[in-house]
Structure 1
Amino acid sequence: MEDKTRSLAFLSLLCFGLADVRDGLGPFLGVYLQGHGWTADKIGIIMSLGDAMALLCAAPLGALTDHTRAKRAILAAAAVLITLACGALFLSAAPLAVGVSRCVQAVAGAAVGPLIAGVTLGLVGQDGLPSRLGVNEAWNHAGNAASAALSGLVGWYYGIVGVFWVMAAMAALSLAAVLGINGRQIDHQVARGLDVDASRPPLAPRRGFPPRSLWAVALTVGLFHFGNAAMLPLLGQSAVTRFGSNPALYTAGTVIVAQATMIVAALLASRLAVRRGYGALFLLALCVLPVRGLVAGLYASEWVLLPVQILDGVGNGTLGVAMPGLVARLLRGSGHINLGLGFVMVAHGIGAAMSHAYAGYIAHLFSYETAFFALALAPCVGLVLYIVSLRRFPDLHRASQGEGHRA
């Protein structure tokens, strides 16, 4: 068997570098535009425009990943496009220029997830996927934590332009990592899910795609992020409003605690996936999130940051391993694994987008505590939906099981 150790090492490095690149300037974009006279409503519109573009392109980009053999080249192009689009913002902060830049970033960023999943599956196959997904997630979260710390330090001395140079350095690291992966070692048939019976034609998207079991996974993921996405921003707003916390330091603390926990959670989740299956990870993530909401709502203290963000790390760390793994196993043999992953990411995006408006409205009408409780309800609905789906769809039940639980 061909030794893929070098390619897998560079894949880890790629996950580390792209963790920063795929989000562009991230939360620093709003601060930069604010410094150029943009009001909060206009910043919100431009951010929403990018989110909408990412949602529209997620499934088509997944389909492209299934059909192309140039996955490494597209990953490199995405990193370059995001960097150039962010750099263009420093040349002009006019609405048209910012709008185009944001759309380019969003579309290129949306391509990264399916492409990384495709390259990973093509390198390790279905049997090696559970453990490898944990490694990918750990390096991804390590990249997020490292870039956040470095961006904060450089930005302190050089302003937002320093954050851009950190991102550009991460992009250069990503390009080097892409070149280090041996393209000949990527099995593109396996990468799209045709490793069971390569002689069988792919399942036609118009005739049975997406299957109902994938709809159940997508809705479950959407409900998870509907309850999860707004909890961190709401936690920061609550701390500043109720306790007068320093917003920059408190937000940084929430990110660091969560990312550090996610690294550990992702590595442990990959081991659990082998023994118990992806279904166990889904159930764990769905059970942790309501507890997180209850803790945030019941305990009025700045130090609630620690348990709430540790639980966030557990929930997101396990779901980050479970979701792509379950989709890959569920659609094995279809030839459309990455299209399916893009489809689920659309549900993820819709749930996250709705979460902020929902939580903000509840907090405005009632209180932050009520908003936390309201957010905790969504994953409970997702938990019921997933359990019912396991009973109703045999293919989902089989895909959710670990290797040791297969008949």
Structure 2
Amino acid sequence: MSPTRALDVLNILLSDVRYGLGAYLGVYLLTEHQWDAGEIGVALSIGGLAGLLAQTPIGLMVDAIRAKRALLAGAVLVVMASCLVIPLAPHFWPVVLAGVIGGLAGTSIAPTLAAISLGMVGPGAFARRACRNEAFFHAGNGAVNLLILVTAPFLGTPVLFWVMALTGLASAAAALAIPARSIDHAVARGLLPGASGVAPRQGWQVLLGSRPLLAFAVTGALFHMANGSMLALVAQKLALQNIGWGVALTAICAIAAQSVMVPTAALAGARAEVWGRRPLLLAAFLALALRGVLYTASDHPAWLVGVQLLDGVGAGLIGALFPVVIADLTRGTGHFAAAQGAVGTVHGLGGVVSGALSGLFVVRYGYDAAFLALAAIAGLGAALFWLTMPETRPRPLEEELAHDHSAA
């Protein structure tokens, strides 16, 4: 198998492992063990916070370590194990502990995968490769959710954990199948081809030293604050209104989003070098705000699933372009993963707040109020992004040389 094909397979298989059980965990705890929305939000937020605190040091480690394939395989296995222990002890503190362990391991998956990809193709082809990764990831996610949809009515919720075990083991094997010689480790950390050495800097120094990185961090945090719990809230709402069909309806929602994310990521890969990153990212914010408002228009399952298609636009664009923007802004510095960790920490804080905030809104004011609050946050993020975030697409080399010559 060629290195490119092995990377494609890895992205497909990671679709069920990269974020753990996701929205399914909330449905499982709600329907099988009678947790309320507030308990679910707080428990999952604690695990997310642990991962956040580790993002920046893990990013520094990813930049420094050469054994990136082994790091990725090990992280996948730990995430898998942390999910598989939950049915054995579905109580608050055991679930929190499993979430903390899984969150710490899962934090390393995205920056390591991005670094491997950058090291394989170089900075010039990275935008297309990163979006290709995201397209394969969403295609795999859709396939996994379709499998759950078909089997859950007959096998029940245990199918979630069987699928997690299978994809986890296969993902670890796929990571190790990528030939080590196909990765340029200097390029993988954000250095230009042929460069060697780099001045050591802490992840937060990388972030605080760049105004565009700061703008991307803050506006992205608002995006994730609005987006982080939307699918989980829709899944809970559908599960409460359709007793016995919670897992199946959650799968349908996920499939709806993934069916749009695949072409969205492909579009981003094809047009990011032509249109630039900025208009595509602004479209992601606007789609998210619209989605939150539309959820309140009807409680019918068909409507809720239809609105979920917009998740494919918002999350699809952000997911595909996040590593691309970071690579643009850290090109030649050698701090690619460290910057991912620092910016990802700020983004993740938004996601953690989203879970706790939406859970409290649901308990006090209901689901519609929670959706409108999240939509307002997305609208604020869109406005700030428009005002503060520059275009990050690198200029062609000829243009840069002409600019340098005129400046001289």
**TM class, shorter-chain normalised?**
0.7 to 0.9
Paired with 2:221 and 2:399, the residues of 1 have a C-alpha distance of 28
Which residue is equivalent to 2:384?
A: 385
Paired with 1:36 and 1:242, the residues of 2 have a C-alpha distance of 15
1:188-230 per-residue CA deviation (whole Å, 9 max, x = no partner) reads 1111111167256336238942123211101111111112223
Which residue is equivalent to 1:18?
A: 14
Corresponding letter in the other structure for 1:271: A
Paired with 2:240 and 2:163, the residues of 1 have a C-alpha distance of 32
The answer as to whether partners of 1:273 and 1:280 remain within 8 angstroms in 2 is: no
Note closer, same or farther for the CA distance 1:227–1:402 as it changes in structure 2 (3 Å cut): farther
Q: Say which is worse superposed, 229-238 or 248-257, in terms of deviation.
A: 229-238
Which residue is equivalent to 1:327?
A: 326
The answer as to whether partners of 1:288 and 1:314 remain within 8 angstroms in 2 is: yes
Which residue is equivalent to 2:54?
A: 57
Corresponding letter in the other structure for 2:303: V
Q: CA deviation at 1:241?
A: 7.2
* 5+ residue gaps, structure 1: 391-395
The answer as to whether partners of 1:261 and 1:313 remain within 8 angstroms in 2 is: yes
Q: CA deviation at 1:170?
A: 1.0
The answer as to whether partners of 2:264 and 2:313 remain within 8 angstroms in 1 is: yes
Q: Say which is worse superposed, 298-307 or 15-24, in terms of deviation.
A: 298-307
Which residue is equivalent to 1:167?
A: 164
Paired with 1:33 and 1:258, the residues of 2 have a C-alpha distance of 23
1:148 matched to 2:145 = yes
Paired with 1:72 and 1:362, the residues of 2 have a C-alpha distance of 42
The TM-score with structure 2 as length reference comes to 0.85
Corresponding letter in the other structure for 1:14: L
> Identical aligned pairs, as a percentage?
35
Which residue is equivalent to 1:9?
A: 5
Q: Say which is worse superposed, 45-54 or 325-334, in terms of deviation.
A: 45-54
Note closer, same or farther for the CA distance 1:90–1:112 as it changes in structure 2 (3 Å cut): same
Which residue is equivalent to 2:74?
A: 77
Q: Summarize the alignment of residues 4-403 of structure 1 with structure 2, pairs less than 5 Å apart.
A: 6-29=2-25, 39-40=35-36, 44-89=41-86, 98-195=95-192, 198=195, 201-202=198-199, 204-205=201-202, 208-210=205-207, 211-237=210-236, 247-298=246-297, 301-362=300-361, 368-390=367-389, 396-397=390-391, 399-400=392-393
Corresponding letter in the other structure for 1:296: Y
Paired residues in the alignment total 397
* 5+ residue gaps, structure 2: 401-408
The answer as to whether partners of 1:274 and 1:402 remain within 8 angstroms in 2 is: no
Paired with 2:232 and 2:86, the residues of 1 have a C-alpha distance of 25
Q: CA deviation at 1:311?
A: 1.5
Note closer, same or farther for the CA distance 1:45–1:371 as it changes in structure 2 (3 Å cut): closer
1:156-176 per-residue CA deviation (whole Å, 9 max, x = no partner) reads 444444432222221232133
The answer as to whether partners of 1:279 and 1:401 remain within 8 angstroms in 2 is: no
SS in 2 for 1:209: helix
Q: CA deviation at 1:358?
A: 3.3
Corresponding letter in the other structure for 2:372: F
The answer as to whether partners of 1:240 and 1:247 remain within 8 angstroms in 2 is: yes
1:347-387 per-residue CA deviation (whole Å, 9 max, x = no partner) reads 22211222234344455555644443332222222223223
The answer as to whether partners of 2:30 and 2:236 remain within 8 angstroms in 1 is: no
The TM-score with structure 1 as length reference comes to 0.85
Paired with 1:145 and 1:206, the residues of 2 have a C-alpha distance of 34
Q: CA deviation at 1:98?
A: 4.7
The alignment's C-alpha RMSD in Å is 3.2
Note closer, same or farther for the CA distance 1:29–1:299 as it changes in structure 2 (3 Å cut): closer
